Structure 1
């Protein structure tokens, strides 16, 4: 590779290493940190390299690393990727999201991307929405509406493109014309699951599809689990919508907690096994959220507050305290004189008469001879409200 600059040599070496090291390989990450990508590839590919038995790796595993390194052809991978609209970004490049560095030696060697947006810019304002594959209609509805609300507020919705909650989250963001990114456990040119081929195409056209594995790579069970650490580290926070007690989405949430990210859960029925994992997460300190505004209040800037939750305002809520006291003193049935109300309220008769005429003009009370009673249309509501007020004192 004569004539190739050091930066390009490192990029080629990292592209090659995505075929050598499995995602989250802490041994490989330590070697990469100690030797750098170019030197590590030399140590793996040169038979006489003075590096036969690195700590923590036996001869058989080292032989497997060497075999993979010998077969790697980064120039071919990068050329084929570019022809398919795929690019490769690695640590130190302008598009690299530095929050992934929080993973330490488990940081990705590099990332393969499909889509036009800048990953670093998008990651700064992103939230993960994850959950059960076999979700309920309630879970799908919550994921879709939550993601749509986040996207409408300018946040990037990140998920794993799986069936269930992941797919609902991506669709919610896309339907609102917003931004979404899918983190895969396979090559970004591989449609997995196959049933989401169309969805992945829409995400790549409107957002980003990314992964650690080079083009053509297929998923394995361990790669799904290890993919979750990237979702957790890449985003400002993780929301779990439905998860059983052994759900992989809980791995994402707990990794987010360890990384100091916001961890949130959407509650469900106490009788649903698909909400049991979320409820355990909430008991363990995660934040309870029910809509996008509550998520943004946590992950957003100072002042991004969710609206205050209040019940419907009643006409009597607008009454001054002294007037409301007179209304409360009226019996549920029958009439009472102004003098009797004055004694009950501990105030003067003239003051009570003035309040009664105010209540009369608003339709709360009626006059009957020298007595007063609750208005027929207001009696039921006023009595219930009065009882609630007395109980709250």
Structure 2
């Protein structure tokens, strides 16, 4: 059989080829590349194909304790990979990437996200990237995920979290899908923040098609990235493996809405395995859209979050200057002297009152009420209403 039609000693071509040969997150492929390097691993696989596989395929060095792969696992993996060598010419996929103005990233490149090293043998061989942003910006990132069939409540919360996090310089990472993902991306964009979308299929085809404009907006300042090569379809298994990248890229994983079997729970599981803090937003106990969040809170030790300040505390537990001061709602009587407080407290909430009625309600003289009213008018707390006074309709 002919050799592969491209130079396997070129590290970029070889790494890119592995995104076609092996499925995302294949730990046996990761172990093989770690042992031989991407190019030599392809050459060995080509040798196995030419030799006809009369015996179980085990790479040079045999089974090693450090990679933990058995003879049977090697053989099954090779059986998965060999069919994809038949029409493999990664230059075709690189041309597709060029056509959409994308770029290929490899481990060791300046832009490669250091956080992906936590995936060990399940780290990508390469990333296919589109967008004007960069993945090596020195900003913390938070993953915001949830179900596609989201509610208005969930979308509002996801967008608000993303807005407030983006305003603090946090990158919002999500999956570009309908529902909570889209709300999180839109929230970050509305705050002129950065957001990254991790796709399950090739970056040449923005998916879902209904979010094309959103993903194009993401690429203006952020990035759209994928592990499968251009031309790859977003199969269900690829969504599940895509989720590990979302979990790895975020320093915290926030699940906003999730049904009992939502894929967002898979992202949370990956984050937990990577020792990332997992947070969940509570919802109505009657809503099936929040059942998965409540499950995370009850059974998996997720942290309950209700606003961005909660998330920032998880993101910067060591006291980094990220968490905003929590807003304290001013009380009606805050900043008033005792006389003004007493008069304002005596005013009805929704109707006007005369000086005489106020004096009786407050237990003050009319002269004292008149003095108090004068101060309250100056501070904007009260306004005239006919022959009496009422609380101001606008803020003081």
Range class of TM-score, shorter chain: 0.7 to 0.9
Runs of 4+ in 1 over 4 A off after TM superposition: 48-52, 58-61, 308-312, 316-320
Tell me, which stretches of 5 or more residues in structure 2 are unaligned? 59-70, 343-358, 367-371, 373-396
Question: Structure 1: how far apart are the matches of 2:268 and 2:170?
Answer: 19
Q: Name the structure 1 match of 2:345.
A: none
Question: Is 1:285 aligned with 2:301?
Answer: yes
Question: Structure 2: how far apart are the matches of 1:233 and 1:64?
Answer: 26
Q: Name the structure 2 match of 1:254.
A: 269
- What is the TM-score when the length of structure 2 is the normalising length? 0.75
- Taking only aligned residues, the RMSD between alpha carbons, in angstroms, comes to 3.1
Question: Structure 1: how far apart are the matches of 2:256 and 2:206?
Answer: 24
Q: Name the structure 2 match of 1:126.
A: 141
SS of residue matched to 1:158: strand
Q: Name the structure 1 match of 2:184.
A: 169
SS of residue matched to 1:30: helix
Shift of 1:290: 1.7
Q: Name the structure 2 match of 1:272.
A: 287
Q: Name the structure 1 match of 2:20.
A: 19
Question: Structure 2: how far apart are the matches of 1:275 and 1:32?
Answer: 41
Question: Is 1:66 aligned with 2:82?
Answer: yes
Question: Structure 2: how far apart are the matches of 1:170 and 1:305?
Answer: 21
Shift of 1:317: 9.6
Pairing 1:94-113 to 2, within 5 Å after superposition: 94-113=110-129
Structure 1 residues 305 and 209 mapped into 2: Cα distance closer, same or farther (>3 Å)? Answer: closer
State the Cα deviation string for residues 223-247 of structure 1 (Å, max 9, x = none): 1111100000111111111111211
**Aligned 8 A contact 1:117 1:208 in 2:** yes
Q: Name the structure 1 match of 2:320.
A: 302
Tell me, which stretches of 5 or more residues in structure 1 are unaligned? 321-326, 328-360, 369-374, 376-393
SS of residue matched to 1:182: strand
Q: Name the structure 1 match of 2:57.
A: 53
Shift of 1:291: 1.8
SS of residue matched to 1:105: helix
* Range with bigger deviation, 106-115 or 260-269: 260-269
**Aligned 8 A contact 1:17 1:69 in 2:** no
Question: Structure 1: how far apart are the matches of 2:72 and 2:24?
Answer: 17
Shift of 1:177: 1.7
State the Cα deviation string for residues 171-201 of structure 1 (Å, max 9, x = none): 1111222111100000011121121122122
Shift of 1:313: 2.9
- What is the TM-score when the length of structure 1 is the normalising length? 0.75
Shift of 1:216: 1.2
**Aligned 8 A contact 1:130 1:166 in 2:** yes
**Aligned 8 A contact 2:28 2:77 in 1:** no
Question: Structure 1: how far apart are the matches of 2:362 and 2:85?
Answer: 85
* Range with bigger deviation, 216-225 or 53-62: 53-62
Question: Structure 2: how far apart are the matches of 1:246 and 1:306?
Answer: 34
Shift of 1:308: 4.3
Shift of 1:268: 0.9
Q: Name the structure 1 match of 2:45.
A: 44
Shift of 1:307: 3.2
Larger Rg: 1
**Aligned 8 A contact 2:172 2:185 in 1:** yes
SS of residue matched to 1:239: strand
SS of residue matched to 2:331: coil
Pairing 1:176-195 to 2, within 5 Å after superposition: 176-195=191-210
Shift of 1:104: 1.3
Structure 1 residues 58 and 41 mapped into 2: Cα distance closer, same or farther (>3 Å)? Answer: closer
Question: Is 1:145 aligned with 2:160?
Answer: yes
SS of residue matched to 2:322: coil
**Aligned 8 A contact 2:134 2:222 in 1:** no
Question: Structure 2: how far apart are the matches of 1:203 and 1:240?
Answer: 21
Question: Structure 1: how far apart are the matches of 2:173 and 2:180?
Answer: 12
SS of residue matched to 2:144: strand
Q: Name the structure 1 match of 2:258.
A: 243
**Aligned 8 A contact 1:294 1:306 in 2:** no
Equivalent of residue 204 in structure 1, options 219, 222, 231: 219
Shift of 1:116: 1.9
